[in-house]
Homo-oligomer: A and B are copies of this chain.
Amino acid sequence: MSRQSKTVLVPGGQGWVGQRFVRHLEERGMNPLPLSRREVDYTQSKLLKEVIKDTGASFLINCAGYTGKPNVDACELHKAECLEGNAVLPGVIREVCEDLGLPWGHVSSGCIYSGNGPDGLGFRESDLPNFSFRQGPCSFYSGTKALGEEILEGADRCFIWRLRIPFDNLDFPRNYLSKVLTYHRLLEARNSLSHLDEFVKAACDGWVNEVEFGVYNLTNPGSITTSRVVELARKHLPTDKEFSFFDSEEQFLKEAAKTPRSNCVLNTDKAREAGLVMRPVEEAVIDSFKNWRSAG
């Protein structure tokens, strides 16, 4: 990105996360090319290879994936698509990029874990997924994301950036804070979260600053509970919403969900040591509420 061509291919660049990468790259003076599958079917290795060659791209950021709309429950109904988007596609991109010697980054997810990690300090990049097909239970979505990482094991010149419950100050259905503010009832849980713009900047910093390739947990340091997010919303937003919680995860699963959710804390030591710094999670959440506005 610093050297050679300024062109960066962004499969999935028209999506919520992808658009942020595109904007951020533009702000850095790069030439991002968002690819939508309708224009170029990048799941076909031949077509992907052609577009990389034709554009002379020096980097690729895979923002494509199947997340399920309105939420992860939809993945239980669209298993083949979910598996293709989250596990097969990274493998196709890996093969093409290795073939061409192109470095690249993959937007993965922290949802492949459940809990606070073996020592209570959050899951490290070296911990095996424990909310996956191989170590269940898991949602189908999490299973496919973990398989996607497995398929990228040992990949050449590849970043795996783990995003986790993205949020920012722009009210939007996929923003975690918007969900907290609109869901009828909430599930109390402790999680690490990623401020979306900070995630994108940290990922790109890693490439520009030539940190070692590999897996990085890119969440805001620390963790936060749902009830603390509600407290901060009450304090910093003009809201008179009456927040209501499920009695238990069992009740949530029984009444409101088809599949279990990952709730987990990630350890961000590796990212910090590589210089990929994000604000403490509570600071980022407060700042988002203080600057809360419509995404439109």
Contacts and interface: CB of A to CB of B under 8 A. Distances in A.
Interface residues of A, number: 20
B91 A151 contact: no
A83 B80 CA distance: 10
Interface of A: 79-81, 83-84, 87-88, 90-92, 94-95, 132-134, 136, 143, 147, 150-151
A37 to B, nearest CB: 12
Contact of A95 (B80, B83, B150): B80
Contacts of A79: 91, 147, 150-151
A263 to B, nearest CB: 20
Contact of A91 (B81, B92, B95): B81
A4 to B, nearest CB: 27
22 contacts: A79-B91, A79-B147, A79-B151, A80-B87, A80-B88, A80-B90, A80-B91, A80-B92, A80-B95, A80-B151, A81-B91, A83-B83, A83-B87, A83-B88, A83-B91, A84-B84, A84-B88, A88-B88, A133-B133, A133-B143, A133-B147, A134-B134
Contacts of A95: 80
A80 B91 CA distance: 5
Contacts of A91: 79-81, 83
Nearest to A146: B133
A64 to B, nearest CB: 14
A259 to B, nearest CB: 13
A140 to B, nearest CB: 9
